[in-house]
Structures are given as C-alpha cells and as structure tokens.
Amino acid sequence: MATWAKAPDFADQPARQAEVRAQTVVDKQRYLEQGLTPLRCQACQSQVLVRKSSSHQTSVEWVDNPAAHCPVFAELSRKGSAPGRPDTCGQLEKTIKWAVDEGVLEVPD
C-alpha cells in the first residue's frame, strides 16, 4: 500500500537517498548556523547569536537559557510564561539595532 509523502524517500535508490541525506546536513548547517554573529546585550550582557536576513527579519539564537541572564526573561519565567514568549526583549532589540547601525551586523540587500 502506497502512502503519500511530501517528498520522495528514494527507498529504492540507496545512492540517491544517501545524497539527499548528506545535502540535508549541509542545508541544516547553512540555515541554522551560518551567518550568525555573536552579540552581547548592552543592558544585561546576555550572549546571543544573531543573523539579519533582511531589514525586517532577524534570527536570534540564545547561547544560554535567557531566563538565567536576561532580567526580562527571568521575570517572565517567574510569572510562568512559556519559552519563546516574547521572542526578545526591548533592550536586546536596541542592541541589535545598534549593531546594525554600527556595521557589526550586516543586512543583505
């Protein structure tokens, strides 16, 4: 019985399946790790990794648990907020804007 899949699994083509898996590893590394710039919040010194993909899109990866270093996230955690809400804090946003303005973070055209 055939089942629907979003993409073929190439189960009948082992060499092709290995190629797809290898490319997936490369793609994950490119999308999740490349272009990230280390940045410390000017207010609380929390370390994050930041990538600007456009003037409107910013990716932020926290190096450590944000509630352990950022007072905004610490307060949210004490109140029982779920991770990722909010996505950032105002002070970190100001630091990222500063980094863009100073040329520390590049914004692609």
**What pLDDT score does 79 carry?**
83
Q: What angle do CA 97, 101, 103 make, to 5 degrees?
A: 115
pTM over 0.95: no
pLDDT tens track for 16-64: 999 988 998 888 887 777 889 999 999 999 999 999 989 899 988 888 8
**What pLDDT score does 84 carry?**
57
**What pLDDT score does 1 carry?**
59
**What pLDDT score does 91 carry?**
94
* pLDDT greater than 60 at residue 88: yes
Q: Where are the alpha helices (DSSP H) in 33-102?
A: 66-69, 71-78, 90-101
**What pLDDT score does 41 carry?**
95
The percentage of the chain sitting over the pLDDT mark of 70, rounded to a whole number, equals 90
- Whether the bond between 86 and the residue before it is cis, its omega within 30 degrees of 0, is yes
